[in-house]
Amino acid sequence: MELVWQGAVRPMSVTESSRLRRVFKAMLPMRIVCLAAAAGVSRISVLSDELEVMPALPLGDVIDEELGIDVPYGSLLVLCDEDSVTQPMAYEDLSFDMGTAVGKVLLTVLRRGIFPLERENEALYVMACAFDRMARTSEMQNLGLIPGEFSKALAGTLGAYWAGSQLLPQDRCGMIPDCGYLASPELRQYLMMLDPGFAAPAYGQVPSGLLAFSGGPRSFPEWLEQVRDVVNSLLGERRHRLIRS
């Protein structure tokens, strides 16, 4: 992580990170370390402390050694660009950044391989719907989260993944991701086209509290286990569709 070695990354102060931490604690109750980056980060990025920057050298150890801050095992490292944290973060910006962060965490979940390959699209869709619905609860809105901004960022991040593009002005199912993207029938039709066996519950059937875990912060691996169990429980058995020739 060249930015760390170049001195371009610093710990965020309690004041700078307070709003972000409150929403993270409610949505993603994991151990987090908040960092500000003078370069190399566009708005927000989320990385696991286990990410190896060199063979047998995890990122958490680098942060611990170079910045002199404790990085508990299983932490998420949340990096924000310097400009966004030098003044109180507007709730619109916070909401959009949280949508981006949640989307990136969900893609990391897939990379961890906790779901069978043939069920990844269903699992990702269910997780996305759960967080999108969670963002619309009074609890989240009382924390200052603006559902529309959160949803646009979450939809943009995952829409790019589903379309196979990292920059997505318009996705391949003909929709510009917006705050109603995840609930749209067009998205389900597109996912069914990608995966004929796609049979995840519809948006409205995914409980808003599915991924709202109680208790104190846990490690990322512990959180992954909980996510796997509740999502698999909702998905049930894989159904196979026959494709007529």
Pairing of strands 32-37, 44-48: unpaired
Q: What confidence score (pLDDT) does residue 170 get?
A: 43
Q: What confidence score (pLDDT) does residue 175 get?
A: 45
How large is the average pLDDT for residues 152-172? 72
Q: What confidence score (pLDDT) does residue 151 get?
A: 95
pLDDT above 70 (res 11): yes
CA 8 centroid distance within chain: 24
Measured distance CA(92)–CA(90) in Å, rounded: 5
% of the chain surpassing 70 pLDDT: 90
pLDDT above 50 (res 168): no
CA angle, 61 as apex, 29 and 22 as ends, to 5°? 20
Q: What confidence score (pLDDT) does residue 1 get?
A: 63
DSSP string, 51-62: -EEETTEEHHHH
Structure tokens at 201: 């519950």
Q: What confidence score (pLDDT) does residue 242 get?
A: 47
Helix, strand, or coil (residue 57): strand
Measured distance CA(162)–CA(167) in Å, rounded: 12
Considering the chain, what is the average pLDDT of its residues?
Answer: 89
For the chain, the structural domain boundaries read 2-89, 92-209
Q: What confidence score (pLDDT) does residue 164 get?
A: 80
Encode pLDDT of 68-121 as tens digits. 999 999 999 999 999 888 777 889 999 999 999 999 999 999 999 999 999 999
Residue with tokens 């796609």: 198
Measured distance CA(108)–CA(59) in Å, rounded: 15
Q: What confidence score (pLDDT) does residue 241 get?
A: 53
Measured distance CA(129)–CA(98) in Å, rounded: 15
How large is the average pLDDT for residues 14-33? 94
Residue with tokens 């967080």: 131
CB under 8 Å to 89, separation ≥6 — which residues?
A: 19, 20, 97
pLDDT above 90 (res 26): yes
Q: Taking Cα atoms as reference points, which of 18, 17, 20, 27 lies closest to residue 140?
A: 27
Please return the burial class of 245, using the count of CB atoms within 10 Å of its CB with bins 0-12, 13-18 and 19+: exposed
Q: What confidence score (pLDDT) does residue 245 get?
A: 43
Measured distance CA(65)–CA(5) in Å, rounded: 10
Upper half-sphere CA count for residue 66 (Cβ side, 13 Å): 19
% of the chain surpassing 90 pLDDT: 74
How large is the average pLDDT for residues 214-222? 94
Q: Among 126-135, 141-150, 180-189, whose mean pLDDT is lowest?
A: 180-189
